[in-house]
Amino acid sequence: MKVFSLKVRVVLVEPEHEGNVGSIARLMKNFGLSKLWLVNPKVEIGNGAYSLAVHAGEILEEAPIVEDLNDALEGTQWVVGTTSIVAKKPGNLRRTAITLEELSEQMTNWQEEVALLFGREGSGLSNRELDRCDVVVSIPSSSTYRALNVASAAAIVFYELRKSEGNRGVRGYLDEADAEVRKRILQLFDALAVKGGTPTHKRRLADKAFKNILSRAFMSKREAVLILGVLRRAVRV
């Protein structure tokens, strides 16, 4: 199996069943992924996990276990969250999800490492964890029972990303704006909103909306520098 040219770090947030951890490790190897991180697992990763991982035991052996999500995200430039609960109202910006096809399209442009987050079996990712994400995706399951088993969801996501490999590099972008540059743009946007007198509650929504837009649109370093320059001047005026 060909390995991913995409740099993907699979992050399981507080997994509750070791069988799912083992199954996801196996799926990762099936689809050419190798980096697994576990955040504060609620179960020991023992024989049950290794039994279901089969020939992917080395992925479990090498998986860092950390207590805080920020530790698992360190060094990544993009954070993709998964959820079965999508926005039903325009104001719920943190759960405004894109499709897996749209994610695959986006990721053909991304050169740096991506963290792919899967939440708890019982409750998924929290609102706070979703706020850490640049992009949120959801699988279009039945409205009568939307929540998939986490390993089943992982299989679908991995498959869609594998399909995107054939389009890797088609657009030829080489100078992707990194996370620090995007963060600075968001900070200046917020400063501009403050200067303009935007009420605090509306400013938070505007900040999230702007972050969503930046995350859905590939931005080169040159484009980022130009936008930064405009925002800096606007804030100083």
Question: Is the Cβ–Cβ distance between 36 and 65 less than 8 Å?
Answer: no
Tens of pLDDT, residues 170-189: 444 457 777 888 888 889 98
Please give the span between the terminal C-alpha atoms of the chain, in angstroms, as a whole number: 56
pLDDT score for 173: 46
pLDDT score for 120: 95
117 and 193, same domain (yes or no): no
CA distance linking residue 50 with residue 32, whole number of Å? 18
DSSP-derived secondary structure for 90-148: TT-GGG-PBPHHHHHHHHTS--S-EEEEE-BTTTBS-HHHHHT-SEEE-----TTS-PP
pLDDT score for 41: 97
Domain end position, chosen among 167, 199, 218? 167
61 and 149, same domain (yes or no): yes
Domain end position, chosen among 117, 142, 167? 167
Using CA atoms in the order 210, 213, 217, 223, what is the torsion angle rounded to 10 degrees? -20
Residue 51: domain span: 8-167
Average pLDDT over residues 49-68: 97
Q: What is the residue whose two structure tokens read 């969503």?
A: 212
Domain end position, chosen among 113, 134, 167? 167
Average pLDDT over residues 186-205: 88
Mean residue pLDDT across the chain: 87
Tens of pLDDT, residues 102-123: 888 878 777 789 999 999 999 9
117 and 206, same domain (yes or no): no
Strand 8-13 and strand 65-66: the pairing is unpaired
Residue 54 DSSP one-character state: G
Provide the token pair at 119: 């939440």
> Does 172 map to a domain?
no
Average pLDDT over residues 79-96: 77
What are φ and ψ of residue 105, in 5° steps? -65, -45
CA distance linking residue 52 with residue 29, whole number of Å? 12
Apex 117 CA angle, 174 and 112, nearest 5: 15
163 and 189, same domain (yes or no): no
150 and 191, same domain (yes or no): no
Helix (H, G, I), strand (E, B) or coil at 87: coil
Provide the token pair at 180: 């620090």
Question: Is the Cβ–Cβ distance between 79 and 113 less than 8 Å?
Answer: no
**Closest to 117 in 3D by CA, of 3, 4, 9:** 9
Provide the token pair at 141: 């399951």
Tens of pLDDT, residues 121-163: 999 999 999 999 999 999 988 888 888 999 999 999 999 888 8
CA distance linking residue 190 with residue 64, whole number of Å? 35
184 and 163, same domain (yes or no): no
pTM score, whole prediction: 0.74
Q: How many domains does the chain have?
A: 2
112 and 229, same domain (yes or no): no
The CATH number of the domain holding residue 39 is 3.40.1280.10
pLDDT band at 166 (very low <50, low <70, confident <90, very high): low
